[in-house]
Amino acid sequence: MGIEMHADLEAVLARELAGYTVRSVKPLGAGVDNIAYEVNDELIVRFAAEPDHERRAEIVRREAQLLDALGEFSSLPVPEPVLASPDDGFLAYHKLPGVPLASLPEPQRVGPRFAATMAEFLTRLHSAPVSQLRNLVDVALEPLEHWLGYARSDYLNVVGSIPPAVRKPIESLLAAPVPEANFAPAFCHNDLGAEHVLVDSDSRECTGILDWTDAAISDPARDFGRLYRDCGPTVVDAALAGYGGGPDLRERAIFYGRCAVFEDIAHGLETGKRMYARNAIAALGWLFPA
């Protein structure tokens, strides 16, 4: 879906938003699940990438309902739909303030209150009643062995781009047993990478959380895992202290962070989005210490 769809987008927005005039449309990029555009520097319009019409409509419908429900459970701003058009395969929401955390360089990527903010956010999110959200999200409880298998496969695909000095620690830890998986499933963002966390570019404090497409009933350590991958142990340890997570949760978070780093390297290399590969390779030092 490219620039040629702008006329259709303009027509749909004008029809659904009572004469809304489209003055500018800027492509923001395409991911596995969505293709996003910024309209008039104020609206974000996300098209579901699913090719099947019925499935695509259901994805948009469910995500819009989920975003409406999240106001009760999120301590941070999340997108609030101003328009959900399942038949057209998209939803639109007002642009949230801030920039993606992934776009900021290390060191000092996050502000001094960031960890406490994430602790509060995840405490409330993971306490949301599963029964109330079960119909809006999937259940994602794959065995940890599956995660390790995918990580080993992804590592073999990107090993040529990984600094030789860190390969031995990686291979040693990828050969180790998986952690114990004793946890109560919770409602999770389930893709809480730095690309979906917005921060103020000056204070580096969190201003919002994007992209709830993969939200699921899952292991709460998954949300900490991507934070560990992208922000490192100091931030996650401080967040876990505020959250109240024990050593088992931390161990699984580290495991998920290690497994997820190779898919980001692969994604960056395959798509030309070098930011993903660069950030992921920079994280290997704390993910796989010698």
Q: Binning pLDDT at 50, 70 and 90, where does residue 3 land?
A: very low
Answer yes or no: are the C-beta atoms of 229 and 261 closer than 8 Å: yes
Query: Does the pLDDT of residue 251 top 50, yes or no?
Result: yes
Q: Stretch 175-202: mean pLDDT, rounded?
A: 95
Q: What percent of the chain is predicted at pLDDT more than 70?
A: 97
Q: Classify 2 as helix, strand or coil.
A: coil
131-161 residue pLDDT tens: 999 999 999 999 999 999 999 999 999 999 9
Half-sphere exposure of 284 (CA within 13 A, CB side): 26
The Cα-based distances of 37 to 11, 43, 198, 211 in angstroms read 15, 8, 17, 13
Bridge partners of 39, per DSSP, are 25, 43
Query: Does the pLDDT of residue 289 top 90, yes or no?
Result: yes
Q: In what order do the strands lie in the sheet with 197-199?
A: 99-100, 197-199, 206-209
Task: Write out the two tokens for 192.
Answer: 């809480």
Task: Write out the two tokens for 131.
Answer: 């029964």
Q: Stretch 228-253: mean pLDDT, rounded?
A: 95
- pLDDT for res 17: 87
Per the listing, tokens 């999110």 go with 125
Query: Does the pLDDT of residue 130 top 80, yes or no?
Result: yes
8-20 residue pLDDT tens: 778 888 888 887 8
The type of residue at 225 is G
Q: Stretch 229-234: mean pLDDT, rounded?
A: 95
- pLDDT for res 1: 40
The type of residue at 232 is G
Q: Binning pLDDT at 50, 70 and 90, where does residue 107 land?
A: low
End-to-end CA distance of the chain: 45
- pLDDT for res 53: 92
- pLDDT for res 66: 96
34-56 residue pLDDT tens: 888 999 999 999 999 899 999 99
Q: What residues contact residue 272 under an 8 Å CB cut-off, 6+ apart? A: none
Query: Does the pLDDT of residue 104 top 80, yes or no?
Result: yes
Q: Binning pLDDT at 50, 70 and 90, where does residue 108 land?
A: low
73-84 residue pLDDT tens: 999 999 999 999
- pLDDT for res 2: 41
- pLDDT for res 44: 94
Task: Write out the two tokens for 127.
Answer: 């306490």
- Chain centre distance of CA 207: 15
Average pLDDT over the chain, rounded to an integer = 92
Q: Where are the extended beta strands (E) located within the chain? A: 25-30, 34-39, 43-48, 81-85, 90-94, 99-100, 138-139, 186-188, 197-199, 206-209, 216-218
Answer yes or no: are the C-beta atoms of 250 and 142 closer than 8 Å: no
The C-alpha atoms of residue 120 and residue 151 are separated, in whole angstroms, by: 30
- Helix then strand then coil, in percent of the chain rounded to 5, is 50, 15, 35
- pLDDT for res 219: 98
Query: Does the pLDDT of residue 212 top 50, yes or no?
Result: yes
